[in-house]
């Protein structure tokens, strides 16, 4: 069987609405024995044929399953920084809580124990990781796990503190809504 058809068969068996993102190492593990050059050519061919969609460097989406379109950036963030402490905060958390009137389109903000970085996910949007030195054990009472996003989510009070600590503008914050929620 040709490698691209073999990959198509493997992905059809493995992928579902929860597992639709694959790293290069995931894909390479599915097809052991490929040389580096042959593997790169295979991924490129799979992308051209629509079997895979590149989300960002090293991460691909299998578009033939019914994945949650509005949650892609969150799931990508969880995969990219799986070994770091991350939580949804800043403008994203405040917008979701209704404290900021403007909803950031195709842009999510997370606090991360990793370095600050903006990841461009093409047509899907952007993920902004903002470095924090805060430890999970000091924030446990202000974080809630969001199973839909596969990430922790900051309380409104923590997100406001993060906004101030990072020097971000609070001009769009509805302080009356903050007082009701805090």
Tell me the per-residue pLDDT of 30-57, one tens digit each, with 9 for 90 and over: 888 888 899 999 999 999 999 999 999 9
Question: Which pLDDT value is given to residue 138?
Answer: 95
CATH 1.10.10.10 intervals, the chain: 3-67
Separation between Cα atoms, residue 164 and residue 177, nearest integer Å: 17
Residue range 74-95, pLDDT digits in tens: 999 999 999 999 999 999 999 9
* C-alpha distances out from residue 161 to 74, 77, 79, 106, 130, Å: 22, 22, 26, 23, 13
Q: Which residue has the higher pLDDT, 3 or 126?
A: 126
Q: Tell me which of 2.60.40.2580, 1.10.10.10, 3.40.50.1000, 3.40.190.10 is the CATH number of domain 3-67.
A: 1.10.10.10
- Which range, of 72-76, 87-91, 143-147, 174-178, averages the lowest pLDDT? 174-178
CB atoms closer than 10 angstroms to residue 123: 7
Question: Which pLDDT value is given to residue 64?
Answer: 93
- Mean pLDDT, all residues of the chain: 92
Region 151-157: what's the mean pLDDT?
A: 96
Question: Which pLDDT value is given to residue 151?
Answer: 97
Indicate the pLDDT class of residue 1, thresholds 50, 70 and 90. low
Q: CB within 8 A of 105, min separation 6: which ones?
A: 125
Residue range 107-120, pLDDT digits in tens: 999 999 999 999 99
**Complete edge-to-edge strand list for the sheet that includes strand 21-23:** 21-23, 59-61, 53-56
Q: Please say if the pLDDT value at position 156 is more than 90.
A: yes
Closest to 51 (Cα-Cα) out of 76, 30, 32, 68: 30
């Amino acid at each position: 069987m040709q490698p691209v058809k073999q990959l198509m068969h493997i992905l059809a068996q493995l992928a579902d609405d929860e597992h639709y993102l694959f790293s290069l190492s995931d894909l390479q593990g599915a097809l052991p024995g490929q040389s580096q050059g042959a593997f790169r050519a295979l991924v490129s061919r799979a992308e051209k044929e629509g079997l895979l969609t590149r989300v960002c460097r090293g991460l691909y989406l299998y578009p033939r399953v019914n994945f949650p379109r509005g949650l892609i950036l969150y799931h990508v963030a969880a995969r990219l920084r799986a070994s770091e402490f991350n939580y949804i905060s800043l403008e994203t958390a405040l917008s979701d809580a209704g404290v900021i009137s403007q909803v950031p389109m195709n842009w999510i903000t997370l606090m991360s124990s990793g370095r600050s970085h903006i990841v461009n996910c093409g047509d899907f949007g952007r993920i902004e990781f903002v470095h924090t030195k805060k430890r999970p054990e000091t924030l446990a009472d202000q974080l809630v796990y969001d199973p839909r996003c596969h990430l922790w989510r900051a309380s409104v009070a923590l997100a406001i503190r993060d906004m101030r600590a990072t020097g971000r503008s609070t001009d769009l914050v509805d302080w009356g809504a903050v007082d009701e929620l805090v």
